[in-house]
Amino acid sequence: MKIEYATEADYDYIIERDRHIHKPLVKTKISEKEIFILWDEDEGSRVGWMRYGYFWDNLPFMNLIWIDEPYRNGGYGKKVVLHWESLMKQQGFDTVMTSTQSDEHAQHFYRKLGYVDAGALLLDTQPLEIMLIKKI
């Protein structure tokens, strides 16, 4: 697997799959180097991406990991999270954050990687959003 920053060439791939972001913001995230593209080196094809930002503008916050269906459960998610955490640590951060809905399996994935519950957000139309944090 290879992890690279997304480029303009990745825009269509991302917006076809990411239904959680306002489309014009994808170009901003690409230019700010806040999206990673995951590649299968053997096939030379994209297999997913990870997008992040900053909670309160100063705490790295992983917004979304997407792995295309045929590549799920192959270790891609773990590798990109560890890659991102390493980069955040190199940039001087000692804590990272993410969230997931209470009805999603992702909460167990993050806990296995050392994330701990830090609170929750309850919106009228969605399941409870669990906030998770990790010291790096």
Q: What is the per-residue pLDDT for 62?
A: 98
Q: What is the per-residue pLDDT for 106?
A: 94
Q: What is the per-residue pLDDT for 132?
A: 98
**What residue has token string 């955490």?**
85
Structure tokens at 101: 């809905």
Beta-bridge mates of residue 50: 36, 65
Per-residue pLDDT of the chain (136 residues; tens, 9 = 90+): 999 999 999 999 999 999 889 999 999 999 999 999 999 998 899 999 999 999 999 999 999 999 999 999 999 999 999 999 999 999 999 999 999 999 999 999 999 999 999 999 998 888 999 999 999 9
What is the distance in angstroms between the CA of the first residue and the CA of the last residue of the chain?
23
CA distance 26 to 18: 9
